[in-house]
Amino acid sequence: MSAVAMKARSVEALSPLGELLSPLAVTEFLELLRRRELTYRPGSNADRFAPAAGWGALQRIIEAGQQPVEQGGIRVTKESHVVPPDRWMTDGKVDTAKLNTFLANGYSVVVLRIEAHVPALAAICDEIKTRVGERSFVGAIITSGVRAGAFKTHYDPEDLIILQVEGRKRWQVFGPVVPNPVQHMPKLTLENPEVIFDEVLEPGDLLFVPGGYWHRCESGFSTSVHLGIFFLPPTAWHVIDQTIRPLITDEFFRRPLTRLNEENALATVEADLKKRLIAKIEDLDLGEFVSRWRTQAQ
């Protein structure tokens, strides 16, 4: 390796994302991200996130009331079955003793957007936004019980960096891959599955699971914690969605088409509708949309 390349790798390793990925260089990872290529990297810094994002630390955050329950901020699940919050809350507050009881019975605890409480993870998300131009957040899944899993075999629309923090967890990844999935697209089923990855992740191990890769993970005997760092890229679908959705505030788009009383009224509305939509399309600026994507609310 040349002196210039070694210096570049050294600089990258000083960045939050570089430290997470090391010994994989950030530039190498960004190419994997572009190609959406499944990648496994054995751990080199197993204890880095355990003090701040292990189950003990997460319990302290929850007990302090810092983690909201609303909008799925905390969930208890088993094989994609979600347990109602009133079963693990007491007097309107999350009861960590109840969470541990569920964990002992093979359930999983999902805690989303924990980067707000862990500066090192917030720095990684910030670098992803500035360097990649994509939104990002971090979730933790805590699992206990032999062969216990939070979700059935599924794929995510987001790309995910998985980091094993505590315990061990078996990951299985299957094909065929769903190409370029997005949220709210029709649900698909896995047919004729092919195992393309089957490994037990140890603390510090990293697995890049691109969107569209079917997967399942399950714990061993002890409590297992892994982090998922989500990448949310803008797509042409997001452009169309954000262009069309605001039109609902215009009364023209809310008129019942079956209640027009003028002759040829439907043809008139159709012509006006096409004109308005064409104007919206002609005003599209993908460069501007992509540049402000990272700052928009998720």
pLDDT at 3: 53
pLDDT at 12: 47
Which tens digit of pLDDT belongs to each residue from 143-181? 987 666 889 999 999 999 999 999 999 999 999 999 999
pLDDT at 18: 93
Distance from C-alpha of 238 to C-alpha of 17, rounded to nearest angstrom: 26
pLDDT at 144: 85
Least confident stretch, 58-62, 141-145, 273-277, 293-297? 293-297
Residue 265, both tokens: 């009224």
- In the structure, what pLDDT confidence band is assigned to residue 13 with cuts at 50, 70 and 90? very low
Least confident stretch, 84-88, 162-166, 291-295? 291-295
Which tens digit of pLDDT belongs to each residue from 96-117? 999 999 999 889 999 999 999 9
| Domain 3-232 in this protein, CATH class | mainly beta
Q: Mean per-residue pLDDT for 253-258? A: 94
Which tens digit of pLDDT belongs to each residue from 31-46? 999 999 999 999 877 7
Q: Mean per-residue pLDDT for 18-38? A: 95
Q: Crossing angle for the helix pair 286-293 and 236-244, nearest 10 degrees? A: 90
Between 264 and 125, name the one with better pLDDT: 125
Nearest to 213 by CA among 129, 151, 254, 155: 155
Is the pLDDT at 291 greater than 60? The verdict is yes
pLDDT at 63: 96
Distance from C-alpha of 225 to C-alpha of 169, rounded to nearest angstrom: 8
pLDDT at 6: 52
* Average pLDDT score, the chain: 91
Which tens digit of pLDDT belongs to each residue from 199-216? 999 999 999 999 999 999
Q: Mean per-residue pLDDT for 125-130? A: 96
